[in-house]
């Protein structure tokens, strides 16, 4: 007697990611041309696709961006302080806890 056992499974990658207002996965948001005095707002959602909660915090880093294997352009403490004082971009909420299988409107 030969019996067959069929096994099917779904593999899911768990991670936290950003989606835009259309539900598309996004790593970059294009604000377009903005002139002095204008405001521009982009809606996004932080999605937690994992079975555990995570703490999150929005950071705006301009001096530590690298591409490939370049040496990072690090900021001095003075430059970092000036950047934080003169911040022109905000994210609300800037920090918090995102529950498992949930999303936060940013």
Query: Does residue 8 belong to any structural domain of this protein?
Result: no
For 60, the domain range is: 14-27+40-66+92-106
* pTM for the whole structure: 0.62
Q: Is residue 61 part of a domain?
A: yes
Number of domains in the chain: 1
User: Is 53 within the bounds of a domain?
Assistant: yes
pLDDT tops 60 at residue 41: yes
- Give whole-number Cα distances, 34 to 31, 89, 91, in Å: 7, 12, 17
Q: What SS3 class is residue 77?
A: helix
Tokens 């936290």 -> residue: 16
Per the domain annotation, does 103 fall within a domain?
yes
pLDDT band at residue 23 under the 50/70/90 scheme = confident
pLDDT tens readout for residues 54-63: 898 887 765 5
Q: What percent of the chain has pLDDT over 70?
A: 79
- Render pLDDT for 61-99 as a digit per residue (tens, 0 to 9): 655 555 556 655 666 777 777 766 666 778 889 899 999
Would you put residue 72 in left (φ > 0), alpha (ψ -120 to 50) or beta? Answer: beta
Please tell me the distance from the alpha carbon of residue 93 to that of residue 104, in angstroms, as a whole number.
Answer: 9
């Amino acid at each position: 007697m030969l019996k067959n056992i069929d096994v099917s499974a779904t593999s899911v990658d768990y991670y936290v990611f950003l989606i835009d207002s259309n539900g598309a996965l996004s790593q970059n948001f294009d604000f377009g041309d903005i002139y002095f005095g204008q405001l521009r707002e982009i809606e996004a959602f932080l999605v937690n696709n994992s079975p555990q909660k995570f703490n999150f915090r929005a950071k705006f880093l301009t001096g530590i961006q690298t591409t490939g294997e370049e040496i990072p352009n690090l900021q001095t403490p003075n430059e970092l302080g000036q950047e934080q004082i003169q911040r022109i971009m905000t994210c609300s909420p800037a920090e918090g806890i995102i529950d498992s299988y949930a999303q936060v409107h940013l």
